[in-house]
A and B are shown apart, each in its own frame.
Chain A
Amino acid sequence: MPKRKDLETVMILGSGPIVIGQACEFDYSATQGCKALKEEGLRLVLLNSNPATVMTDPELSDRTYVEPMTGAIAEEILRLERPQAILPTLGGQTALNLAIELHEKGVLAELGVEMIGSSPDVIEIAESRERFRHTMASLGLDIPNSALAHSVEEAVDTARMTGFPAIIRPSFTLGGTGGGIAKNQEELELLAWKGLNASPIHQILVEESLIGWKEMELEMIRDLADNAIIVCGIENVDPMGVHTGDSITVAPIQTLTDVEYQAMRDEALTVARAVGLNGGCNIQFAVHPSTGRRVVIEMNPRVSRSSALASKATGFPIARVAAKLSIGYFLSELKNGITSKSACFEPALDYCVVKAPRFNFEKFIGASSVLGLEMRAVGETMALGGNFREALQKALRGLENGLMSLEYESPQSTNYIPESTGVKDPRILEDLKRNLAKPMPERLNVLYEALRQGLTRAEAMELTTLDSWFIIQLEMILETERFMEGEFARLIGAAVSPSKSSWLKVKAQGFSDSQIAKITLRSTGVKVSPVEVGILREKAGVRPHFRQVDTCAGEFFAQTPYYYSSYDSPEEPQKLPEENNKPLEIKEPKKQKVMILGGGPNRIGQGIEFDYCCVKAAQAFSDMGFSTIMVNSNPETVSTDYDQVGRLYFEPVTLEDVLAICQVEDPDGVIVQLGGQTPLNLARSLAASGVPIWGTPPEAIFRAEDRHDWNELVKKLVLNQPPARMAQDEKSALAVAGEIGYPVIVRPSFVLGGRAMRIIDNTDDLKAYVEGFNKSGLGLGPDNPILVDKFLEDAVEIDVDAVADGRQVVIAAIMEHIERAGVHSGDSSCCIPPFTLSSQIQEEITRQTELLGLELGVLGLMNIQFAVKDGLVYVLEANPRASRTAPFVAKATGRNLIQAACEVMAGKTLKEVGFQPESPPDYFAVKEAVIPWSRFFGAEVFLGPEMHSTGEVMGLDRTFGHAFLKAQLAAGTDVPLGGEILLTVADKDKQELMPLAQELYKMGFIFKATPGTVKTLAQNGMEAGTLYNINDSRKPNVLEFLKSGKVRMFVNTAFDPQSVRDSSLLRAEAINRGVPIMTTLAGLAAMVEGLKSIKKANWNVLPLQGYHD
């Protein structure tokens, strides 16, 4: 059936803020969806609260609503825009849940809006465990033994049938939030309680454990003519028991026979038919490793993280095709853009694709890092290689987790003796075995080291339950490493290039030049740099091949320039990357080439914001007539959509990999300032290798990053900054702190996202910090000092995003943080325009920004952080690169600062570009951060200088209060309009709390508080019910009151580590129950302002186009 004629306007739902389990893969999906429907001439209305996304670029839709994704607001938009259909299958669980809410409320029926992509019935079958199980059973498909439970008691009963270990899965949650594996009744009770709380319908599934079974996923597409294809089969290297989002996975499936695979395929098609799927879908199976018994685990009737991965792994654009099907097309009517053949086929792969998860456990102190059913990974990297080993090592080196691929660093680094020294200590192997028994983030590294230390294959299989095929692959890598430790390393150490065949042996297993340098050092004691290794390799004529990803294993001519590198070939590499398309008859004029380096895997501190910048840059350079090249390794992103750029290289963003691409492409300019810290860190080395860096020169970047140079610069410009010193050990740290005065803010040098940053107000805590630093193996010293800065208490923090061309610095926006200084800028909410700053202060900030931009010689983007205290402006840091806030600024103001920056990098002036100072908007845009506390049970819940947030939302409205409130709603805060508020504040905050409390009191909120706060409230004429402290035996107890579920908001300010620890149980409880927590008075003040505004007047629901025009 061709396109439906009855559709004119379609509303697309995005997925809201980036959270664990729902990340920028949905930006990729919905962006593809927007483009696919736009080209069909449909009018598009988009709703997504996340300003960091590409999809919320106002160019992609006709009406772009960056508004909270709540039922009420979605309904209002539906009434305003009157679309004929709503498409929820590209925006993850958030979109599905919202669409179901609108359906159940009858809004869709009332307004005559049809849900396309997936019907409510399909969603319900997939989502409701009961209906799903019933449907599977009626189709004759095998499923794990299980039953639903609605109470802890019921769960205990059910476990008698399933036995232990038993799996707990809450219904209707994202990425398995609140799930787990219970090994005994005690664990079951705890997990059941947690799961019941996590489930919006208070329901959990208690299930037979399939731990150790093979885990397989099929990404499929079906249309309403019943045409169905499997786009990609994905095998989890980590078997059942580890969430697939936390697993290393490989495509194609490696360890199933055709008989097993086809039977599984049949079942997937049966399921899709039975539920009446129209679009993309993911089905998971578990396969018993020694009997072949296969059970269906789950089905998601929408595009997913895995479908984004499958699209990047195969080159088949699942979301795009799914969007086309949703408006009536059949698969048979669509073309595969890569080969110009039919899209109704199953891609064939002639390479291996490995995905590896990126974790950030170090940021959640106190949380267990054992992997389980609940997803914890914050990002991922994918790599393609000629064989599994090459792909695996490439994927691991793209993680940037501080480990070189499979390298292992013992937690007890002091007593760790590597095998290469010849000493084998049986205790080491025992240690490793203990670690292997529990799946940890770096389990393959542990396994690799254990194999090195003599672990047998059988033991490895038993401990890890990994398929032997994968274990043997690790053995083969190890074998290669042993080969390298001999003659190979000796030659490298002697600066002699080994034979070409030796090089190919090593490189085809995925070893990087850095690994080779390290192995050389370890086995010969000779220090060589990775670049020197590269030069020796070049001498032997060994370079990677660049192969095309063509969906068809070479069967057809392919037109899409999507490449990966491989050394796994005995033949000579081509001069240019493999081009499958026949040369064009018409000679195009040669274009200048610009290469954009992406940010690699998402992690806390470096995420989707940078992807937005890279994508916008590709567009900007392409518009200027350049041919564009993108390099990135993150399969979730829009930037790795081959449709976005001239040429895509899906490669780790490391020096060696980027240089190899530069060798074949010879770009005229390379852009390092848009992909976050990852490419920025490469700038100097790339420049040293003769790569032309466009934009701010690497020396200027270094000048801003290097503490000493920076201090000189601030001094030269006569700017203020908080007193700061470096310390190399405990003694000097204490001396420095004594000199500049407590509180101080301490952190290691060269970090991203505030890693290991702390505010400290006494000597004991400082000693503990230094000790912890030493213990962590990072070790202080002259090469690795800590920075000790004076902490400006109660200062207002400011972020400025600007574009500079060497002559002029134009501010895109000044953002005022709502939380006071001390909260990491990535975690604090902020507002455009500033809402408390005087015009003099803003002028001063502008002046200082201009000074810094010109002095540093910034060409392109820059972000500066200031603090304002007592009318004085302090400069905290300047980053001559795109910032996390760049997309927020673009969406809030409508100014395309990325494009301006790109034009500057291409040699134009800001005047020529027309990017000039503008007065700030007459409305307010508030950005709020979203933090995954609930995923890290036991972690300290505390906003501080260490960044914890994974995502952000924006609230836009005419007043600050409305905008703030919208941001809170969008972040998922259950904003209270009445009811009971629990107040427990630090002594120093008690007086400041009073005026805010008065306002809340006037609004009719009822107060409960701990004795100290009760007293202060009473002195100010406010009544409050007394609750006793957590450690107090008297009743009513504050924790119990929280558990009662009556609390609508929890105000709990704590700053010093001790009080944070004291209130952590309370905060954890509040988070579990979804009670909004205000941890700063500044935040509370904004909330009060918001509540006042909403009581006065309703919010305005308006698209970006309405604000910008």
Chain B
Amino acid sequence: MNSLTQGVSNPYGKILFTDATLTLDDGASFKGVAVGKNVEARGEAIFITAMSGYQEVLTDPSYHGQIVVFTTAHVGNYGTNPAVNQALRPQVAGVIFHELWLPEALHWHSDASLPDWLESGKVVALTGVDTRRLTLHLRDYGARNGYIGPASLGLDKALARAKAIPSMNGLDLAIRVTTKTPYKKYAPTLEGDPEHFRVAVLDFGMKQAIVDRLLAEGLDLTVWPGNTPAEKIAEEKPHGLFLANGPGDPAACDYAVRTTKAFLGRIPVFGICLGHQIMGLATGAKTYKLPFGHHGLNHPVLLSDSGRVLITSQNHGFAVDPDTLPQGVRANMWNLNDDTVEGLIWDDAPAFCCQFHPEASPGPHDSHRLFAKFSHMIKELYAQA
């Protein structure tokens, strides 16, 4: 029985409640109540410790195909608003709450309650789950595939379904969420503005906030499908290349690694998250899967050159192995929690990248300046030329 429906004789109109469970592929199972018509979901279960920004998380394509577990006690308190969507529609396969706010959300900025929004986005939502126990399990045994289904199904069947889900290792999810066709975005032109620089963007499931941040730097964008070959992109003579965030195993994106190699050292390159991992792979370094990844808004990142620490928004399950980096590429940003690589910088090329999300959304804005760094890099380079 779930805490939300406890003591409440369903005053929430037509919301449908179904007893349901999350079954992990190691046989651990967690009871809850599915909210809405949709009860069945499959994906890798990961937990996120963010205490706000649920709508941004649920629409972030980097979470594509995952079952996201919110550790915070209450989710949905302030409803939803399309203005904060990171993609046109929800991206997660399923979402698990300790307590989903079911009543109307009366926040001034809200135009639909989270349950309604989930329902219309066909997101499977489980609430009333002991998310603390689930989180400790994922932490201790690693992020793993899980199946959400009606409790009536029984453990054996649910477990078989969980086991049948393909492993995240070697899985190319970026190709599923990247744009199918190229498109352009222009930064607003102000009077007296110099001509905008053009940036080619390789999309692996780019968040809206990244588009907004790049445009705010006065950069015009051509957004390409993630598997566009370098030659095609080069035809447009971009001034810089940006590699977006995205879901899945970077090692599966060999096409993007090839494209990146073609540009590294020739024009400024900046990558975020999956983009960072692809840049790492392009140097010949290796990536590996983290036990349970980094998903939260509170990750400290040390800038080893200045000793400064930034609090960052993070969402990734893979990392670049620093021991495999070639000469000339340095890891200059580090996660203070587990000493994993958070950023790379090239000694002899105008290129850098970060594992965390400087665009935030959700999360702290400490690292916004990396976008400015990219645009300065472009401006300086072409000013010299």
Contact between A346 and B298, CB atoms less than 8 A apart: yes
Assembly CA distance A346 to B363 (angstroms) = 11
Assembly CA distance A574 to B46 (angstroms) = 23
Q: A504-B6, A508-B3 are in contact. Are A332 and B309 (CB under 8 A)?
A: yes
Contact between B108 and A348, CB atoms less than 8 A apart: no
Contact between A349 and B311, CB atoms less than 8 A apart: no
Partner of A330, one of B107, B307, B361: B307
Contact between A344 and B133, CB atoms less than 8 A apart: no
Contact between B9 and A483, CB atoms less than 8 A apart: yes
Contact between B336 and A505, CB atoms less than 8 A apart: no
B52 at the interface (CB under 8 A from A): yes
Query: Which of the segments A193-201, A236-244, A546-554, A600-608 contacts the partner chain?
Result: A546-554
Assembly CA distance A962 to B53 (angstroms) = 61
Question: Which residues does chain B contribute within 8 Å of A291, judged by CB atoms?
Answer: 108
Assembly CA distance A501 to B33 (angstroms) = 14
> Would you list which residues of chain B between 323 and 342 have a CB under 8 Å from chain A?
336-338
Partner of B7, one of A262, A468, A483: A483
* Among A252, A253, A553, residue most surrounded by chain B Cβ atoms (within 10 Å): A553
Binary CB contact string for chain A from 138 to 173 against chain B (1 if under 8 A, 0 otherwise): 000000000000000000000000000000000000
> Would you list which residues of chain B between 1 and 25 have a CB under 8 Å from chain A?
1-3, 6-9, 11
Contact between A555 and B49, CB atoms less than 8 A apart: yes
Q: A265-B364, A468-B106 are in contact. Are A349 and B51 (CB under 8 A)?
A: yes
Contact between A257 and B84, CB atoms less than 8 A apart: yes
Q: A262-B360, A346-B298 are in contact. Are A387 and B139 (CB under 8 A)?
A: no
Q: A266-B365, A291-B108 are in contact. Are A350 and B308 (CB under 8 A)?
A: no
Contact between B11 and A350, CB atoms less than 8 A apart: no
Contact between A346 and B132, CB atoms less than 8 A apart: no
Question: Which residues does chain B contribute within 8 Å of A554, judged by CB atoms?
Answer: 47, 49, 71, 132, 135-136, 139
Assembly CA distance A262 to B50 (angstroms) = 12
Question: Which residues does chain A contribute within 8 Å of B101, judged by CB atoms?
Answer: 469
Assembly CA distance A346 to B365 (angstroms) = 13
A524 at the interface (CB under 8 A from B): no
A229 at the interface (CB under 8 A from B): yes
> Would you list which residues of chain A between 4 and 38 have a CB under 8 Å from chain B?
none
Binary CB contact string for chain B from 337 to 369 against chain A (1 if under 8 A, 0 otherwise): 110000000000000000000001111110000
Contact between A346 and B297, CB atoms less than 8 A apart: yes
Partner of B72, one of A349, A468, A481, A578: A349
> Would you list which residues of chain A between 349 and 388 have a CB under 8 Å from chain B?
349-352, 386-388
Q: Which residue of B lies closest to A506 (CB)?
A: B7
Assembly CA distance A479 to B11 (angstroms) = 10
Q: Which residue of B lies closest to A568 (CB)?
A: B3
Q: How far is the CB of B141 from chain A (nearest CB, A)?
A: 13
A715 at the interface (CB under 8 A from B): no
Q: A262-B364, A350-B131, A554-B132 are in contact. Are A480 and B6 (CB under 8 A)?
A: yes
Question: Which residues does chain A contribute within 8 Å of B108, judged by CB atoms?
Answer: 289-292
Contact between B136 and A258, CB atoms less than 8 A apart: no
Question: Which residues does chain A contribute within 8 Å of B218, judged by CB atoms?
Answer: none
Contact between B107 and A570, CB atoms less than 8 A apart: no
> Would you list which residues of chain B between 247 and 265 have a CB under 8 Å from chain A?
none
Q: What is the total of A-B residue contacts with beta carbons within 8 Å?
A: 188
Assembly CA distance A50 to B62 (angstroms) = 56
> Would you list which residues of chain B between 35 and 87 have a CB under 8 Å from chain A?
47, 49-53, 56, 71-74, 77-78, 81, 84
B300 at the interface (CB under 8 A from A): yes
Assembly CA distance A547 to B11 (angstroms) = 31
Q: Which residue of A lies closest to B72 (CB)?
A: A350
Assembly CA distance A468 to B107 (angstroms) = 9
Contact between A348 and B337, CB atoms less than 8 A apart: no
Question: Which residues does chain B contribute within 8 Å of A504, judged by CB atoms?
Answer: 1, 3, 6
Q: A255-B107, A258-B53 are in contact. Are A347 and B298 (CB under 8 A)?
A: yes
| Size range of the chain A interface in the assembly | 35 or more
Binary CB contact string for chain A from 490 to 523 against chain B (1 if under 8 A, 0 otherwise): 0000000000010011101100000000000000
Q: How far is the CB of B149 from chain A (nearest CB, A)?
A: 17
Q: A262-B362, A330-B307 are in contact. Are A348 and B84 (CB under 8 A)?
A: no
Question: Which residues does chain B contribute within 8 Å of A553, judged by CB atoms?
Answer: 49, 71-72, 135, 296
A472 at the interface (CB under 8 A from B): yes
Contact between B136 and A552, CB atoms less than 8 A apart: no
Contact between B311 and A345, CB atoms less than 8 A apart: yes
A569 at the interface (CB under 8 A from B): yes
Contact between B132 and A348, CB atoms less than 8 A apart: no
Partner of A569, one of B9, B109, B130, B364: B130
* Among A259, A480, A552, residue most surrounded by chain B Cβ atoms (within 10 Å): A259
Question: Which residues does chain A contribute within 8 Å of B9, judged by CB atoms?
Answer: 479, 483
Contact between A342 and B337, CB atoms less than 8 A apart: yes
Partner of A261, one of B32, B49, B52, B109: B52
Q: A259-B84, A569-B130, A570-B31 are in contact. Are A350 and B336 (CB under 8 A)?
A: no
Binary CB contact string for chain B from 102 to 130 against chain A (1 if under 8 A, 0 otherwise): 01001111000000000000000000111
A254 at the interface (CB under 8 A from B): yes
Assembly CA distance A911 to B180 (angstroms) = 87
A571 at the interface (CB under 8 A from B): yes
Assembly CA distance A472 to B84 (angstroms) = 25
Q: A254-B74, A479-B9 are in contact. Are A505 and B49 (CB under 8 A)?
A: no
Assembly CA distance A467 to B110 (angstroms) = 14
B198 at the interface (CB under 8 A from A): no
B220 at the interface (CB under 8 A from A): no
Question: Which residues does chain A contribute within 8 Å of B11, judged by CB atoms?
Answer: 479
Partner of B51, one of A229, A252, A472: A252
Contact between B72 and A252, CB atoms less than 8 A apart: yes
> Would you list which residues of chain A between 456 and 474 have a CB under 8 Å from chain B?
467-469, 472
Assembly CA distance A330 to B30 (angstroms) = 42
Contact between A570 and B296, CB atoms less than 8 A apart: no
Question: Which residues does chain B contribute within 8 Å of A344, judged by CB atoms?
Answer: 300, 309, 311, 336
Assembly CA distance A547 to B132 (angstroms) = 9
B302 at the interface (CB under 8 A from A): yes
Question: Which residues does chain A contribute within 8 Å of B7, judged by CB atoms?
Answer: 476-477, 479-481, 483-484, 505-506, 509
Contact between B52 and A258, CB atoms less than 8 A apart: yes
Question: Which residues does chain A contribute within 8 Å of B298, judged by CB atoms?
Answer: 345-348
Question: Which residues does chain A contribute within 8 Å of B107, judged by CB atoms?
Answer: 255, 257
B99 at the interface (CB under 8 A from A): yes
Question: Which residues does chain A contribute within 8 Å of B296, judged by CB atoms?
Answer: 348, 553, 555
A341 at the interface (CB under 8 A from B): yes
Q: A266-B365, A480-B6, A508-B6 are in contact. Are A257 and B130 (CB under 8 A)?
A: no
Q: How far is the CB of A573 from chain B (nearest CB, A)?
A: 10
* Among A291, A331, A570, A580, residue most surrounded by chain B Cβ atoms (within 10 Å): A570
B207 at the interface (CB under 8 A from A): no
Assembly CA distance A328 to B31 (angstroms) = 50
Q: Which residue of A lies closest to B78 (CB)?
A: A257
Contact between A255 and B311, CB atoms less than 8 A apart: no
Partner of B1, one of A252, A350, A480, A505: A505
B276 at the interface (CB under 8 A from A): no
B299 at the interface (CB under 8 A from A): yes
Assembly CA distance A80 to B85 (angstroms) = 64
Question: Which residues does chain B contribute within 8 Å of A469, judged by CB atoms?
Answer: 77, 101, 106
Q: Give me the interface of B with A, judged by CB distance under 8 Å.
A: 1-3, 6-9, 11, 30-32, 47, 49-53, 56, 71-74, 77-78, 81, 84, 98-99, 101, 103, 106-109, 128-133, 135-136, 139, 296-300, 302, 307-309, 311, 336-338, 360-365
Closest 8 CB pairs of A and B: A480-B7, A258-B53, A505-B6, A342-B336, A348-B49, A258-B362, A346-B298, A554-B135
In addition to A554-B139, A570-B1, A570-B128, 10 A-B residue pairs with Cβ atoms within 8 Å of each other are A226-B308, A258-B84, A259-B109, A261-B52, A262-B360, A290-B108, A341-B338, A344-B311, A350-B131, A387-B3
- Sample 21 A-B pairs with CB under 8 A, ordered by A number: A227-B308, A257-B52, A257-B109, A258-B361, A258-B362, A262-B364, A332-B336, A345-B337, A347-B298, A349-B51, A350-B98, A350-B132, A480-B7, A480-B8, A504-B1, A505-B7, A554-B136, A555-B139, A555-B296, A568-B99, A571-B31
